[in-house]
Amino acid sequence: MGGDTLPCGCHMVVVGCVYMVVVGCVYILIATNQETSVPNIEITSMDFTVHNITQTRLSANWDLLIRVPSDLPNAYICLQGDIQASLFYKNFTLVTSSGQRYNDLRYGSPQQLRVSAAISEKDIDIGGLTGENIIKDIKEKRKVKFGSQLFLTDCRKGMTGVLSYVCDDTTLRFEPDLETKATKFGNNPTCTNI
């Protein structure tokens, strides 16, 4: 009878050790995923303000407002750093903003960052038909669909570069009877780390 008790007790110790190893591995996997999985960013606002438009040329200002989620600043984006963005029309790069400094992010709080760029007639004209198609969208459809990409200073341990994000297309709709101001229409597009 005493011989039966000892193997049973050993069995329980082995089961307990295996359980602890499995639980430890699960926690390590979760921690690893949290470190390597960069949270998404949302585009909360995008404006396209036309200054001059003809049949073949236009100049405009592009303003982008993104929402940085609360779990991003403490591990990924620096609380002080740079933001840069590119605007695309059907995979053609219209403009890339200069690096714009930000210095007011706070830990554990969702916040917004703005980036702006001026688009000249020369920028639009480089695309040939691209400029004509944008103008056609403005004049006939009253809306334009743009893609965008973001670059933010990377603050992960051991990293010195930038976090790159590609964003879902954003539909901009022009105000009634105006060809000068278009704003984001519909759901907030998501920007995913690449």
Coil vs helix vs strand at 166: strand
Q: Residue 177: is its pLDDT beyond 80?
A: no
Q: Are 40 and 192 in contact (CB under 8 A)?
A: yes
In angstroms, the CA 77 to CA 64 distance is 18
Q: Residue 181: is its pLDDT beyond 60?
A: yes
pLDDT digits (tens, 9 = 90+) for 124-176: 765 567 888 888 898 899 999 999 999 999 988 888 889 999 999 999 999 87
Residue type, 14: V
In angstroms, the CA 141 to CA 58 distance is 16
pLDDT digits (tens, 9 = 90+) for 5-59: 555 565 666 655 555 655 454 444 444 444 557 889 999 999 999 988 887 788 8
Global pTM reads: 0.76
The CATH number of 39-193, from 2.60.40, 1.10.260, 1.10.287, 2.50.20, is 2.60.40
Half-sphere exposure of 152 (CA within 13 A, CB side): 32
Phi, psi of 181 (to 5 degrees): -135, 120
Residue with tokens 């554990």: 108
Q: How many CB atoms lie within 10 A of CB 58?
A: 23
Query: Residue ranges per domain, the chain?
Result: 1-37, 39-193
N-term to C-term CA, the chain: 64
